[in-house]
A and B are shown apart, each in its own frame.
Chain A
Amino acid sequence: MLDLRKLLAPSRTASAHCDIPCGIYDPHGAELGARTVTKMVSLIQEAQEGTDPESRQTFVRCVKVKEEHAEIVKRELQILWSDYFKPEHLERYPDLHEKVWKALKLASKNKQSIDATAARDLEAAVAEIARIFWETKGGQPATKAA
């Protein structure tokens, strides 16, 4: 039986652990949130011209989605900040706290306002934190790099 087990045993393991205590972190959630904020700002600006009920509804829904995703960006960044990044990362990237803090502030600004520049700034700030994240991981997995 032992030999059969050896013969059949997989050479690789896949984790079905929960993310936070077990170390599955990814900046993709924050990046997606920031992209969604930008997209919503653009749709809001298009919809604000219309006065018919359909345009009003689109406007309200886009505002709601924008605010939700600004909040998602904050939550995802806070998870990376509090649970993933470690003192050795801060030694390598001394401005990491400043960058995360500014990105969180930008997310709040985007939640409060309809501002295409602020949305682009948020995307850039999140992209920079994602870059640092992947550098600390030694690069993105091959399937992500494409």
Chain B
Amino acid sequence: MNGIARLVASWRARVALTGHSMSPTLRDGDWVLVDPDAYRLRSPTPGELVVADSSAGPVVKRVAERLDPTSLLLAGDAPSGGGHHHEVVLAVSTVSGRPWFRYWPPGRIGRVR
């Protein structure tokens, strides 16, 4: 039952990804399920994927570092370069879920972590 509830909640919170900073884990155009309750009882730890509500809208990043109890340093998986910086510091309270399953495109369906 828990699994079904999680699936339904994740379906409602699903997102389409744009941009290349999470490549190769997630690519531009991937559609992913997002568990909105994953971080409800605990905070994300370094290495985990998060959806966070930044000032520019939802972003998908990986936790690089827990800076203090209220702050996370988030980074992309793709190497920075050419004037592009994939890192951003956001409040823990902006985290709204964990991307965990890519369901589109059909050739790349599978768990993401």
Q: Is B9 an interface residue (CB 8 A)?
A: no
Bound together, the chains give a CA A23 to CA B85 distance in angstroms of 11
Q: Is A143 an interface residue (CB 8 A)?
A: yes
**Known: A13-B17, A14-B51. Is A143-B71 also a contact (CB below 8 A)?**
no
Residues of A near B90 (CB, < 8 A) are 26, 28
Binary flags per residue of A123-146, CB closer than 8 Å to B gives 1, else 0 = 000000000011001000111101
Residues of A near B96 (CB, < 8 A) are 143
Query: Among A4-12, A47-55, A100-108, A114-122, which stretch is in contact with chain B?
Result: A4-12
Bound together, the chains give a CA A25 to CA B14 distance in angstroms of 24
Q: Is A92 an interface residue (CB 8 A)?
A: no
Residues of B near A133 (CB, < 8 A) are 55
Chain A interface size band reads 20 to 34
Q: Which of B21, B31, B91 contacts A16 (CB 8 A)?
A: B21
Residues of B near A36 (CB, < 8 A) are 68
Residues of A near B28 (CB, < 8 A) are 16
Residues of B near A2 (CB, < 8 A) are none
Residues of B near A142 (CB, < 8 A) are 53
Inter-chain residue pair count (beta carbon < 8 A): 121
Shortest CB-to-CB span from B112 to chain A, Å, is: 12
Interface secondary structure of B, over-half rule: strand
Bound together, the chains give a CA A10 to CA B88 distance in angstroms of 25
CB contact list, A53-76 vs B, under 8 A: 76
**Known: A15-B57, A16-B60, A17-B18. Is A8-B104 also a contact (CB below 8 A)?**
yes
Shortest CB-to-CB span from A142 to chain B, Å, is: 8
Tell me whether A12 and B86 are in contact (CB under 8 A): no
By beta carbon, the residue of chain A nearest B95 is A143
Residues of A near B34 (CB, < 8 A) are 14
Q: Is A21 an interface residue (CB 8 A)?
A: yes
Q: A residues touching B (Cβ–Cβ < 8 Å)?
A: 5, 8-10, 12-26, 28-29, 32, 35-36, 76, 133-134, 137, 141-144, 146
Q: Show 27 residue pairs from A and B whose CB-CB distance is below 8 angstroms, ordered by the A residue.
A: A5-B104, A9-B31, A13-B17, A13-B18, A13-B57, A14-B15, A14-B58, A15-B19, A15-B58, A16-B18, A16-B21, A16-B61, A17-B19, A18-B19, A18-B86, A19-B88, A26-B89, A28-B89, A28-B90, A28-B91, A32-B67, A137-B55, A141-B53, A141-B54, A141-B55, A144-B53, A146-B93
